[in-house]
Amino acid sequence: MNISTRFRLLVLLLALPLMVFAEQAIQHKLVFRSGRVVTGEIVLRNEDVVIIKDGYGTRFQFPMSDIVEITELKEEEPDQKPKEDPQSRSVTNVKRTSLGVRVAGGVACLDGSVTDAGKATLGGAIAADFRLGANNLGGKHIFLGGQVGYRALMAEGKTLSIIPVDAVMELPVITGAHAPMIGVNIGYGIGVGGIRGGVNAGLTLAYRYHFSRTGSLHIGVEAEVQQLAAASHTIGVPDESLQSFLSTGRRTAVMGLLTFGVLF
């Protein structure tokens, strides 16, 4: 074996570990909420922080709450700032169990009864709900849980109070930091103050915005149906006007609500 061949073999042996290391080192791209982009090899990653090493071996630590996307950097992918497309951004590490509150206001319509010759009664409605459930089911930002709340229907100088207990599901139309949603709820509304409640159900169209890794804002519109009836007896002196207002058994209230909610 001549000297030239030995030299080439020695260079190959020395370069082999570097070649193996280069193949094993996977480069990632970190996209921050500010729009900043950082690339390098991830050394450590957990729910709180990510540590990344650049091409010079320098390590940097960043909080996960500042990062909206982590992707593997392909060789053909140019290292440049991505276009600002909120619909294409994904929110990582969303907490799976969430607590939320929602308030709403709008109009209500009670169907007609025999006493008022079938004339519908129009009025106002306010609502509030507390929600608890599993968030980001299957990594698809699906919410499934329950809610308990309050409904006040106001018509002809009367206020009908209902406490609904519902099952709730919310499905995003698309996955992203900003996403339209479809929500459904169904359950039973408990009557308060001389009225009996009944089955209730609602359909919501909303828009969701993630303001942090675990929090989001919801704004939308909801159509909700609630069954009502006068109680067969009341404690103390019966409210004759209420009995007449809700006579002939069950009546149905339809509410149109503008909703605003926060989920943590």
Structure confidence at residue 238 (pLDDT): 52
- Residues 30, 52: Cα–Cα separation, whole Å: 9
Least confident segment among 45-49, 116-120, 150-154, 175-179: 116-120
- Domain boundaries defined on the chain: 3-84, 97-263
> Is the pLDDT higher at 188 or at 214?
188
Mean pLDDT, range 230-242, rounded to an integer: 56
**Six-digit token string for 45:** 């990653």
- 146-159, pLDDT tens digit by residue? 999 999 998 878 88
pLDDT at 20: 45
In CATH, the number for domain 97-263 is 2.40.160.20
Selection from 37-41, 117-121, 221-225 with the highest mean pLDDT: 221-225
pLDDT tens digits for range 5-54:
666 666 555 555 555 444 456 888 999 887 788 888 888 888 888 999 88
Chain centroid, CA 70 distance in Å: 21
pLDDT confidence tier of residue 125, bands split at 50, 70 and 90? very high
Give residue 9's pLDDT: 61
Q: What is the mean pLDDT of residues 171-198?
A: 86
Per-residue model confidence as pLDDT tens digits over 57-97:
788 889 988 898 898 877 554 444 444 444 444 444 445 68
pLDDT tens-digit series, residues 158-171:
888 999 999 999 98
Right CATH for 3-84 from 3.60.150.10, 3.40.50.720, 3.30.1660.40, 2.30.30.100: 2.30.30.100
Higher pLDDT, 210 or 198: 198
Per the prediction, the chain carries an average pLDDT of: 78
Q: What is the pLDDT of residue 26?
A: 82
Q: Dump pLDDT digits (tens) for 204-222.
A: 999 988 777 667 899 999 9
HEC string of the chain equals CCHHHHHHHHHHHHHHHHHHHHHHCCEEEEEECCCCEEEEEEEEECCCEEEEECCCCCEEEEEHHHEEEEEECCCCCCCCCCCCCHHHCCCCCCCCEEEEEEEEEEEEEECCCCCCCCCCEEEEEEEEEEEEEEEEECCCCEEEEEEEEEEEEEECCEEEEEEEEEEEEEEECCCCCEEEEEEEEEEEEEEECCEECEEEEEEEEEEEEECCCCCEEEEEEEEEEEEEEECCCCCCCCCHHHHHHCCCCCEEEEEEEEEEEEEC
Mean pLDDT of 179-201: 90
pLDDT of residue 11: 57
